[in-house]
Amino acid sequence: MTTLNCRAELRLLKLFDYLHLIVDRLESFDATIERGDGTLAFTYSFGSARFIMQPETLVMEASAHDEHGLRRIKELLSVAIELYAKSENPQVTWEGDLADDTTLPSFRLMRVDNAWQVTPGMRRVRLLGDNLDRFETASSMHIRMLFPTAAVPEPVWPIAGRNGLALWPSEERKPVTRVYTIRNIDAAAGYMDIDFVVHGDAADGHEGVGCAWAMHAAEGDVVGIMGPLGRPVRAAEWYIMGCDETGLPALSRILERLPSHARGFAFVEVADAACEQRIAHPDGIDLRWIHRDGVAGGEHEGLVQAIRAVAWPEDVSSFGWFASESDASRQVREYWRTTLAYGRDKTLAAGYWKRGAAGLMAN
Ligand SMILES: Cc1cc2nc3c(=O)[nH]c(=O)nc-3n(C[C@H](O)[C@H](O)[C@H](O)COP(=O)(O)OP(=O)(O)OC[C@H]3O[C@@H](n4cnc5c(N)ncnc54)[C@H](O)[C@@H]3O)c2cc1C
């Protein structure tokens, strides 16, 4: 069997300050790790990697039996380095097999199959594409969507640079990016569904590129996606969860996959009763809908109040998950982390959009 190999050498003076974070991330993609004298070996189902740690230098080696596997390993390592060694401005340059390859493993070109209203406030778009296996994971359920616009109707899609990560060949013809959640996916059948919140309208100028694209999406339209993105929700016996409509696709996927014995609360803020959805969830999770009833998105206080009113049990493992407008998410994060003193291992509170700002988290 042939093996493809490549390596990159980096000068990193503070590697041991953040190495544990890199290892934690690389391990979370189902790796087995072997620790040696100054080495770390990671084995994945699609290939393997080795770190050789020398004074002020990190050598990264990657191997796989096919191109697809080697691209994934390069990407995994490069993302971990870019994230955690950021303060040292690392320049990853892969040498060896596929060094000049420009195929970006995280990118897919998708085509609209169909679009329909799930509720008055939510439009679902079904996208068709090839080779979607990497997106079919519940531990990373978000994607970056790359939209054509009136100004750039035929964007130039990203390619892989020498570090294995996205490179935008044309600034002038760059697509507009926004982050969304994969609501449903069937890689074997070649489709995924994305639920778009209908917010604002063209007249008030708050419609946004993503929302406008979804409202007009028609069979055959093309759109780019990159991913998947996001960290998994930790396993626990008891959960407290909260979101507005933007977090509802993610919450729905989380609830559908929880074991039947899971207990806790899930609060969802929507515009009104017509925007409620049927979501499969364990009997022990008390799912409650909060209606804004005329109050604008991001201005209703009921969701944060509901989250703060729940006492966490002391005797079982627990996890808090929250996704909403960024100010509400900040309040919940502060409450959980500062008032209740729970750490990252027990809580995840993310801002999904920001009042008055376009494209939160899109870049
Ligand atoms: C991890 C993650 C997952 C997400 N998943 C989803 C998803 O599955 N479905 C989904 O619809 N959104 C989701 N979002 C939120 C989405 O990325 C933002 O709402 C984004 O701003 C929408 O882009 P846009 O181009 O429509 O509007 P933008 O151009 O970004 O914004 C234009 C204007 O609209 C306002 N605005 C943006 N979103 C809303 C909103 N929801 N309600 C009211 N006003 C708003 C902005 O404040 C701004 O004034 C997710 C975000 C993250 C970070």
Ligand 1 near 208 CB (within 6 A): yes
Residue closest to 2 by CA, chosen among 79, 80, 97, 140 = 97
**41 occurs within a structural domain:** yes
Centroid of ligand 1 to alpha carbon of 353 (angstroms): 5
Tell me which of 67, 96, 125 is where a domain ends: 96
| Domain of residue 294, CATH code | 3.40.50.80
pLDDT per 10-residue tile (average), the chain, 363 residues? 93 95 88 95 95 94 95 94 94 95 94 97 98 88 96 95 92 96 98 94 71 96 95 91 98 96 98 96 98 91 97 96 97 97 92 90 74
Indicate which residue's Cα is closest to atom 24 of ligand 1. Answer: 208
Indicate which residue's Cα is closest to atom 34 of ligand 1. Answer: 206
Identify whether residues 219 and 148 lie together within a single domain: yes
The preferred substitution site among 352, 354, 363 for testing ligand 1, maximizing ligand atoms within 8 Å of CB, is: 352
Identify whether residues 64 and 82 lie together within a single domain: yes
Residue 363, pLDDT score: 73
**19 occurs within a structural domain:** yes
H or E element, residue 62: strand 57-64
Centroid of ligand 1 to alpha carbon of 225 (angstroms): 16
**What is the rounded CA–CA span in Å between residue 242 and residue 24?**
27
**72 occurs within a structural domain:** yes
Instruction: Name the domain count of the chain.
Output: 3
Kindly tell me the sign of the dihedral angle through the C-alpha atoms of 85, 87, 88, 93: positive
Ligand 1 near 161 CB (within 6 A): no
Ligand 1 near 354 CB (within 6 A): yes
Centroid of ligand 1 to alpha carbon of 147 (angstroms): 14
Residue range of the domain that includes 77 = 4-96
Centroid of ligand 1 to alpha carbon of 54 (angstroms): 44
Centroid of ligand 1 to alpha carbon of 333 (angstroms): 20
The preferred substitution site among 144, 246, 354 for testing ligand 1, maximizing ligand atoms within 8 Å of CB, is: 246
Ligand 1 near 184 CB (within 6 A): no
Residue 345, pLDDT score: 85
**360 occurs within a structural domain:** no
Residue carrying structure tokens 């920001």: 354
Angle 181-185-186 from CA coordinates, rounded to 5°: 170
Centroid of ligand 1 to alpha carbon of 197 (angstroms): 7
DSSP output for 165-223:
SEE-S-STTPPEEEEEEEEEEETTTTEEEEEEE--S-GGGT---HHHHHHHH--TT-EE
Ligand 1 atom with least separation from CA of 212: 26
Ligand 1 near 358 CB (within 6 A): yes
Tell me which of 96, 126, 153 is where a domain ends: 96
Write the CB contacts of 160 (distance below 8 Å, at least 6 apart in sequence): 71, 101, 102, 103, 104, 105, 166, 167
**207 occurs within a structural domain:** yes
Identify whether residues 265 and 326 lie together within a single domain: yes
**221 occurs within a structural domain:** yes
**363 occurs within a structural domain:** no
